[in-house]
Amino acid sequence: DVKVTQSSRYLVKRTGEKVFLECVQDMDHENMFWYRQDPGLGLRLIYFSYDVKMKEKGDIPEGYSVSREKKERFSLILESASTNQTSMYLCASSSGEVSYNEQFFGPGTRLTVL
Amino acid sequence: GQNIDQPTEMTATEGAIVQINCTYQTSGFNGLFWYQQHAGEAPTFLSYNVLDGLEEKGRFSSFLSRSKGYSYLLLKELQMKDSASYLCAVTDGDYKLSFGAGTTVTVRA
């Protein structure tokens, strides 16, 4: 079974702090994704990565950056957390064999910025 | 750009049938996914349609009409455990998914 894990289920940070969210997958997937999920807005793509050291902006990249130094790990960084970044953050991965492969999701990190 | 619409909420009785509609207007299309998400949990894959027609998988079926930009997810013989959010998502063939806002289904006894 594919397993996607995220470093924390719940996180509370203060405005202005630098925040790291970590995601690890164990299925040797090429593609990894970071989403945020807000009520009434659904899942919105922040960043994604096709391969190690590669990254592409999604629909809402402002205020975020990412890092992919190893194939199994994809990190989301909030350089200076703000209250409007309070949200549920979901990581996902998929195989790069074909473009329509299903994405497998982690359990999510609920981030609160005070 | 991508525009994906689905109803916000639906309520049905245990044992009944519920149909969740999804309409989409997208710049590219290479298939439509349905995911199920229980409260506080990760979304899990239900179905993928790329050709017109109905795909049946146990109590769940998914339909696609590419010409109409329309899909539905049909849940039969509803059970209490089917209470969840159902997410419609479209892929343009570039690995990415664009999601609708999700439909929360509540199953009542």
The pLDDT tens digits of the residues spanning B56-87 come to 999 999 999 999 999 999 999 999 999 999 99
Q: Does the pLDDT at position A102 exceed 90? A: no
Task: Using DSSP bridges, classify how beta strands B53-57 and B60-65 pair: parallel, antiparallel or unpaired.
Answer: antiparallel
User: Is residue B89 classed as helix, strand or coil in its secondary structure?
Assistant: strand
Q: Does the pLDDT at position B88 exceed 70? A: yes
In chain B, residues 68-87 whose CB comes closer than 8 Å to chain A: 87
User: What confidence score (pLDDT) does residue B42 get?
Assistant: 92
Convert the pLDDT of each residue in A55-70 to its tens digit: 999 999 999 999 999 9
CB-based contact B95 A50, cutoff 8 Å: yes
Mean pLDDT of B42-51: 94
Mean pLDDT of A32-43: 94
- Residue B33 with chain A: CB contacts under 8 Å: 102
CA distance B85 to B105: 6
Please, which pLDDT band fits residue B92 given cuts at 50, 70 and 90? confident
CA distance B44 to B87: 10
Average pLDDT, chain A: 93
CB-based contact B96 A58, cutoff 8 Å: yes
Q: Does A11 touch chain B (CB under 8 A)?
A: no
User: Is residue B30 classed as helix, strand or coil in its secondary structure?
Assistant: coil
Question: How far apart are the CA of B10 and the nearest CA of chain A, in angstroms?
Answer: 14
Q: Tokens representing B45?
A: 């894959």
